[in-house]
Amino acid sequence: MGLNQINLNHTDISSIMSTSFLKIYSNNTSNIINKFVKEDINIAVIVDKKHDKDIPKAVLTAKDILKLTINKIPFEKYIKKWEKTNSFFCCVNSKMQTSDVINTISKFNPEYVLVYDDKKVIGILTQKEIQKLYDESLMYSYTLLNKIVDVVNDAVCVIDTEGIVRYWNGSAEIMHGIKKKDILNKPLHEVFPNALLPRVLKEQKTFENIYNEARESCFNIISARPLYKDGRLIGAISCDRDITEITNISRLLNQTKSNLEALKEELGNINKDKMTFDKIIGNNLGFKEKVRFSKKIAGANINILLMGESGTGKEVFAEAIHCESKRRGNFIPINCSAIPKDLLESELFGYEKGAFTGANKNGKIGKLELANNGTIFLDEIGDMPLEMQPKILRFLEDGIITRIGSEKSTKIDVRVIAATNKDIKEMVDKGGFRKDLFYRLNSITIELPPLRERKDDIPILVDNFVKKFCRQYNMLERNIPSHIMDILENYQWEGNIRELKNIVERIVILAKNNSIDISLLPEKITKDKDIKNKANKDDLNLNKILIKAEINALKKAMRISNNNKTKAAKLLKVPRSTLYFKLDKYRLE
């Protein structure tokens, strides 16, 4: 039965009122008994006529006539009694809706209801019709309420004081998988041993929004309260709201949040200790020119190719260029030679969930997308597989990426800095590298010099590394003896700055009681006789001796003065401006 079929049989009162009554005007009450008998009617309405309107005076039944006759009570006296007690009847319009009539009856609680139409009494409701009206109204309300509650999304259950299920709506059937016929008129605890409603009955207490897992992978929130009538407990009602979809979404959001936190941590690790040009050490004129040029072109959104031997600081320069560019995004480095060629595309472009066997079930963001609004550093670009190069070329041309397993393309803004220790031009000539990609990357080329071409920077670099590793390993600061420094300056550094850094770390770790001698150096350095001989000759180089003595004096003064430059200048007996100059010259700050 649909809601449109649930209605009262009577849309207005005229369809339920009785028209079998006598209407007798008060100025014509003679022979009432004869009229009752003749019309075979047992009820009459006595009215006055005033301005063409029926004014009710009394209601008279055949039983009333009999009593008046037996007791010899004058008819006029009976009517006056009615006038004093007007609560015996009330008047309604024949066009009134049934609900309005019921409201009127409930308000006055009359014995009779007179129905009017155009100022005339046309019908009457006796107790019989009034009861029928109430019964049909109650049935209508009950049926309508059942239909409404049956279609609400919440599962509704009602039990009586004995815990017997008296109501179970359609949503409860769906949510709990139990039909009405299988639970109605049965104790609730037999079906749900841990149900909340019996506790509501026992404690006569309301519970709001209690989380519950009704069955596996089905979650809901229960609200339950006791039911009272005239202050007496008659049962309890519960409403279960299905939150399975919300719970699943929440779990997915939590998983996504966890992934984002992990990504954030990864980014934090990637971007901690950002390298800027101010942190790049070097006084060599040729090297300083590379720094100056890199600063100048950093702000332009142009691709850069860094060339140089392994260990010359290409990634350091790339990150410094990124920081100088003031791009809002992240600096994302990726080593093309360190990633298997089968995984390089997924690392760069990312993939959707289920894109391939072994893929993360939630998919993965690629390094290019991670670098959006920032810079990606493609180290060892010469080792990029040939089959991967067209995809990088396409990205460089339009800035669009598509994750593996996805049909959706995304436009991103990424500055590309590539680096290589190989001769890319020679690789192009031999077919080992795409010519069009080379020219795309080669908008600006910066070639970083090897350490052997900037030996004047070795003392400054060594001093910086010594300080760094002493702090890292919580050691007292070491001093590198001049003869050891001479050996380091004259060594042909094939590994460049990276190799120098590793050897200094070795020296700091192995040195005992601040004693550093040639035995701490790797054999590959000390076995070179030419280096030893040159180092011995350099021991007589007066300029080097004076420079080293000056550096040691500056360090000692700064240490004694606790880095107070004014006090240090006084200890050295030089002007403060001279101290500033020397500290800057030897990069001791």
Q: What is the pLDDT of residues 98-116, one digit of tens each?
A: 778 888 887 878 888 889 8
Domain 453-585, CATH among 1.10.8.60, 3.30.70.270, 1.10.3430.10, 2.120.10.70:
1.10.8.60
Could you tell me the pLDDT band of residue 80, with boundaries at 50, 70 and 90?
confident
Whole-number Å distance between alpha carbons of 336 and 127:
96
Q: What is the pLDDT of residue 385?
A: 92
Q: CA nearest 495: which of 308, 337, 306, 310?
A: 310
For the ranges 47-56, 243-252, 365-374, 511-520, the maximum mean pLDDT occurs at 365-374
**Looking at per-residue confidence, does 397 or 524 come out higher?**
397
Question: What is the overall mean pLDDT for the chain?
Answer: 83
The pLDDT value given to residue 513? 67
Mean pLDDT calculated for residue range 328-353: 90
**Which pLDDT band, with edges at 50, 70 and 90, does 217 fall under?**
low
The span from the CA of 199 to the CA of 353, in Å, is 46
- CATH 3.90.180.10 at 3-136, yes or no: no
Distance, CA of 122 to CA of 114 (rounded, Å): 8
Domain locations in the chain as residue ranges: 3-136, 152-242, 273-449, 453-585
* DSSP reduced 3-state for 2: coil
Mean pLDDT (whole number) for 65-90: 74
Tell me whether the CATH fold assigned to 152-242 matches the one assigned to 453-585. Answer: no
Would you say residue 400 has pLDDT above 60?
yes
Whether the per-residue pLDDT at 374 is higher than 80: the answer is yes
Which pLDDT score, from 0 to 100, does residue 316 have?
A: 93
Q: Which of 145-149, 411-415, 469-473 has the lowest mean pLDDT?
A: 145-149
Buried b (16+ CB within 10 A) or exposed e, 107-124: eeebebbbbbeeeebbbb
Q: Which residue has the tokens 């100022």?
A: 119
Residue 83 is predicted with a pLDDT of: 66
Are the CB atoms for 488 and 462 separated by under 8 Å?
yes
Residue 6: pLDDT over 50: no
Q: Which of 183-197, 201-215, 250-264, 478-492 has the lowest mean pLDDT?
A: 250-264
User: Is residue 8 scored above 50 in pLDDT?
Assistant: no
Element (H, E) at 124: strand 120-125
List, for residues 16-31, the tens digit of each pLDDT value: 788 888 888 877 767 7
CB-facing half-sphere around the CA of 79: CA atoms within 13 A: 16
The answer, yes or no, to whether residue 165 has pLDDT greater than 80, is yes
Task: Give the pLDDT band (50/70/90) at residue 258.
Answer: low
Give the CATH fold of the 152-242 domain: Beta-Lactamase (3.30.450)
pTM higher than 0.75: no
The pLDDT assigned to 529 comes to 47
* Domain 273-449, architecture per CATH: 3-Layer(aba) Sandwich (3.40)
- The per-residue pLDDT for range 492-549, each reduced to its tens digit, is 898 899 999 999 999 888 887 667 878 888 888 877 645 555 555 555 567 677 777 8
Residue 9: per-residue pLDDT: 46
Query: Cα(539)–Cα(300) distance, rounded to whole angstroms?
Result: 48
State the average pLDDT over residues 287-301. Answer: 92
Q: Give the 3-state secondary structure of residue 111.
A: coil
